[in-house]
Structure 1
């Protein structure tokens, strides 16, 4: 068990990558506070985690509201007394060109992807500093590093900012034994990709050097690595998980 007796918060956990991350951490011994906006899906996931013998608490809310992060953290501290791992997975995308995009949509994407990440980091960091340790993993995107026509500029800009925030916090928090890293997934099989036409799927797959889409589990395994003691000499990194779509 890589995370025996660890306490983890996972945002955006109701489906897809977030759900896979939550289950993977639980299978490796962590108890969880799972966050999202769909209470029914979160409760179903919590039941699944409890069958693994782990404690799991559901806390719903909008990450763009700074009060939500503090509420989730308060529940974690009240219940478990500590927070060892934070996974900032909650995010959203809009698909529009710069000229088509409305300013309110730009702001909403930044509020969720960037500000939500900051709010949760600021809420957990005092507790991690007090306990002299913790792991934060932010879920970013390949689009943070290279332009993508299928993503609105707000999405790439927000994720690029998440990458900088990751590096800045890693440097600032290093004296307190707090590690901060990010994963940058590329094309991954999700509910959205299941709606693609076969022609578009082949087009996307054909641009991936490994000639296959990723799976949520691929991202979850990388998050597990960064959240565990195996990554105890890694901080400030933004790790690509994209089949070679973008290499650096």
Structure 2
């Protein structure tokens, strides 16, 4: 129970990596406030978390709207009287070349992936500063560190922005005992990857030194490490969870 008596917020929690993170934090003793845009999936996850014996509240809303962050954080403070952990997981990807991409799509990806992370950090940090404690984990992507043809330029640019935001906040918040880190997943088995053709799956696997796709649980375990006291001397880092496809 690495997170006993901790209160955690997880955005984009309805499926895949976000869902795995929320359940993993709950299994380790954290109370949760989960956020997403699909009410039915959120409610199902909330009930599953409550079965672990942990308290859980759900807030439906788009992270691209600053009011969502305000509602989520205010709920955490009003109900639990504190907020120890923030996991910015909500994100979208689009697959188009630069010339094919609409500017509307560019803005939408940045609004959710980058701006949404900023909104939640700005809203949560005053409470963490007051308590002189906090753990923030921004879920990014290896696309932030190396270009991928199968991702729109907006995705890589937004995640590179998230990585810089992580490092910048780590510097600003260090004096308040707040750790800010990131996780950069590579190829992970999700709903999206289940739609790949066998040929494309083999192409992806051939580029992974460990010769297998990651799982949402692999990412969730890394987030657990970064939100626990085991990572107390780590801040400003972005950890690759990608089977060796990108190393730095």
Aligned to 1:199: 199
Aligned to 1:210: 210
Counterpart Cα distance in 1 of 2:135 and 2:223: 10
1:53-202 mapped onto 2 (5 Å cutoff): 53-202=53-202
Deviation at 1:30, TM superposition (A): 0.2
Q: TM-score, normalised by structure 2?
A: 1.00
Q: Which runs of 5 or more structure 2 residues have no equivalent in the other structure?
A: none
2:189 counterpart SS class: coil
Deviation sequence 1:11-57 (CA, Å, 0-9, x none): 00000000000000000000000000001000000000000000000
Aligned to 1:242: 242
Aligned to 1:48: 48
Deviation at 1:199, TM superposition (A): 1.1
Counterpart Cα distance in 1 of 2:151 and 2:60: 27
1:137 counterpart SS class: strand
Counterpart Cα distance in 2 of 1:194 and 1:155: 20
Moved over 6 A (4+): none
Deviation at 1:111, TM superposition (A): 0.2
Deviation sequence 1:188-239 (CA, Å, 0-9, x none): 0000001111111111011101000000000000000000000000000010
Deviation at 1:245, TM superposition (A): 0.3
Aligned to 1:37: 37
Give the paired residue count: 248
Q: TM-score, normalised by structure 1?
A: 1.00
